[in-house]
Amino acid sequence: MNSFKQARIDKQADKALCNLSQGDMSGLSAIYDLYGRLILSVAYIIVGNFTDAEDVLQDVMLLLARYAKRYKAGNSPRAYVMSITRHTAINLIKKRKTELSTDEIGDIPARDGKLASVEVQDLLAQLTEEERQIVTLHIYAGLSHRQVAKMLEISTSAAEKKYQRALKKLKKHYES
Amino acid sequence: MKKKIDNILHQLDSYPLPDKAKILAASPIVPAETEEHRKLLTPVRRRLGPAKLAALAMAALLLVAGGVTVVAEEAKAYGEAIDFFEEYNLSAEGFSRSEIKKIYRDIVSESFTYEKTEEALASGLEGYEIQAKPLDSDGLKRLWMVGYVWGVEDQQQSGEAGVEYGFVQVYNPQTREHYGQLFKIKGDQQIWCKRLDDLYIYDARAVGDKIMVAGNLLEKGVATQTVRVCLLDSESDVIWQKDYNSRMHQPGVNYILYDEGNCTLFTASNDRMWILTIDMEGNLVSERYAEYDARGEWIKKVVPMGDGYLMLKGDRLMQEKDGKVQSTVTFGSGDDYYEITDMVEFNGLVYLSGRIVPSIHYESGKWSKGLYGLYQEQFGEKTPSAEEQLQFMKDHHTAVLLVCDPDSGEPQRFYTIPGASGSQLSVKGKQLDWLVNRYVGAEMNANETYYISTGYLATIKADIWRYAFNPYGQVVGEKDTGSSIEFEG
């Protein structure tokens, strides 16, 4: 997405969130139209199937309605919504892990669900969980490295470094 | 590459969005779309301003005057420059057409000498904001080609006082060369920079006054099975360089451990870890493979433990034993969860630094307890003040120093400090130094709002304290370092 289009969407989302924070629920509908696709895709990257990603989307809309008051006008609505999305998706994974076993936190529990194209799956398979998030939040969601770093609670230089490494890993993969 | 990834990720867009009404039904009452909402979603169509009209008129005049070829060439060059600006997220705002073309030529020719180039790069070049400014042409070139210059996390503390090493990876799209670069830095000064051809550097470790570098050997830019190890002296001369066949697909050297005169490389593929020990001449001492699930974060620290190793992967501990790398018995105990940040071997024992947070329980379909649950319980939908968030963190974070059972690897509490987080560990002679971040203040974030479950709205300030322990485990020093850090809660 070009940066002008992104900036326009963000401006609209900022207004929608402000409306929502003042109790105007039409803002939520606007947010769905503006960011619904983004939320679903980023959730997919984290949870690994569209069935769960849809659950995340629903939870995110619920959380937005509930916590819109925390949003401050003029901030980055994209980062705000992506932060909620990431948090919600990770919570869903944690919940599933807890349901399975408390000792196997390193494993991703498999769950049936609709999957993305083979090409997307191949791309994701080359990256670690963290790299997937960094690459997706930066390239697909259009967040800056600083915003990604804040979200992942790492330094900006670490986010940049990890991003570059992920890209090089993918480059090697596609070249080979 | 960025474009290719973007295109692939946008294949996700083909999955249909679920029905809006169904999704929003779970949220509080949502009224039908209002006029305001429709307005909100209507794209703004801009009219051409006088300047653009004038430019169009001028272009038309030039065409009529017969300068068709010249104008077409100029337009093509400008178009290329604009495409380039867009591809690399650079802002063309504030630059004239001629300046945009000059900047474009300056960058692609890699000369980086045009006075406006830095200004253009500042608008979109990732990593620019963390550089010391202004950058000279070499600095700009490196930043452009590498994407970033060494980060603190890549710097390895050497035996020499104040000396650190850093490394970066370079790909030159013009010459299609791939190489690693190793830097020696003292304070803000770069002492030297060494180019290591066809090497994708994964890790480097200072070994006394020398430095060992390990990575993947590239052939025409493509990763091979070979791990290349180089030992350099303090003047950047390569003492030796040797290649080792990992017999693994795309091996990644996670960590180099220097221990008792040998270096051990921990190299992972997707499902295996190759543990290769070499002496300081590069001769093979031992090697073995272990089952290993490489998903998630990389191994960031390793210490020997018994016949195997204890590894820190993210904030979790893994133990290599009997040909398997697996999670240690516990990440916590009872209601506590340990988030580990560092570990070190001291006096034959392994010490871990981190913090204790309430563990997460999942009961009857609802999240309860855990930091998230406690936060919700305490604040609900209310936005807590900075002071309340600080108090919440003080109440629920405890810095912890753990000591591992030498046989089982099971961590046991050794020292705790409430209202703080444990940070770096280091050994200085016969003393163990433990840095602890003690929370002292909080400030609401003025510029950016983030939804985070545990105090994301405030920036927490912590003073860094140093605790010193002797080989008997007794505290022999407790001192405020005078430094502090700020972080999101």
User: Exposure pattern of B109-135 as b/e (b: 16+ CB <10 Å)?
Assistant: ebebebeebbbbbbbebbbbebbeeeb
Q: By the 8 A CB rule, do B276 and B265 touch?
A: yes
What is the topology classification, in CATH, of domain A107-176? Arc Repressor Mutant, subunit A (1.10.10)
C-alpha A141/C-alpha B409 separation (Å) is 41
Phi, then psi, of B322 in degrees rounded to 5 = 50, 45
Q: Does A6 touch chain B (CB under 8 A)?
A: no
Three-state DSSP class for B393? helix
Q: Which runs of consecutive H residues, i.e. helices, occur in B263-404?
A: 370-379, 386-396
Contacts of A92 in chain B (CB under 8 A): none
- Predicted pLDDT at A106: 39
Please provide the DSSP assignment of A17-85 as one string.
HHHHHTT-THHHHHHHHHHHHHHHHHHHHHHSSHHHHHHHHHHHHHHHHHHGGG--TTS-HHHHHHHHH
pTM over 0.95: no
Q: Do B151 and A87 touch (CB under 8 A)?
A: no
Largest separation between any pair of C-alpha atoms in chain A? 54
Q: By the 8 A CB rule, do B410 and B404 touch?
A: yes
Q: Could you tell me which chain B residue has the CA closest to the CA of A2?
A: B86
Chain A: give the shortest CA distance to residue B427, in Å. Answer: 25
- Average pLDDT over every residue of A131-135: 92
C-alpha A118/C-alpha B175 separation (Å) is 32
Q: Do A176 and B222 touch (CB under 8 A)?
A: yes
Chain B: give the shortest CA distance to residue A37, in Å. Answer: 7
Establish how many alpha carbons lie within 13 A of residue B219's alpha carbon, considering only the half-sphere containing its beta carbon: 7
- Average pLDDT over every residue of A68-74: 72
Q: By the 8 A CB rule, do B179 and B195 touch?
A: yes
Q: Residues 371..430 of B with a Cβ closer than 8 Å to A: which?
A: 372, 381, 383
Which of A21-30, A48-57, B281-290, B448-457 bottoms out in mean pLDDT, i.e. has the lowest?
B448-457
Q: Does A140 touch chain B (CB under 8 A)?
A: yes
A145-152 and A156-175 helices, crossing angle to 10°: 110
C-alpha A105/C-alpha B96 separation (Å) is 55
- Predicted pLDDT at B113: 86
On the 0-12 / 13-18 / 19+ scale of CB atoms within 10 A, B216 is: buried
Which band of pLDDT confidence, cut at 50, 70 and 90, is reported for residue B162?
A: confident
- Predicted pLDDT at B443: 79
- A 10 A CB-CB count for B72 gives 11
Q: Does B233 touch chain A (CB under 8 A)?
A: no
User: CATH 1.10.10.10 region(s) of chain A?
Assistant: 107-176
Tens of pLDDT, residue by residue over B361-420, are: 555 544 444 676 677 778 776 777 888 888 988 998 999 999 987 677 778 888 999 999
Q: Does B14 touch chain A (CB under 8 A)?
A: yes
**Is the pLDDT assigned to residue B150 strictly greater than 60?**
no
- For the A1-105 domain, the top CATH level (class) is mainly alpha
Contacts of B453 in chain A (CB under 8 A): 87
Say what the ipTM of the complex is.
0.85
C-alpha B267/C-alpha B223 separation (Å) is 14
Q: Do A128 and B296 touch (CB under 8 A)?
A: yes
User: CATH 1.10.1740.10 region(s) of chain A?
Assistant: 1-105
Pick from B129, B148, B222: CB nearest A161 = B148
Q: Do A156 and B488 touch (CB under 8 A)?
A: no
On the 0-12 / 13-18 / 19+ scale of CB atoms within 10 A, B139 is: middle
Q: What tokens were used for B232?
A: 């350099």
Q: What tokens were used for B371?
A: 């930091």
Tens of pLDDT, residue by residue over B434-446, are: 999 999 988 776 5
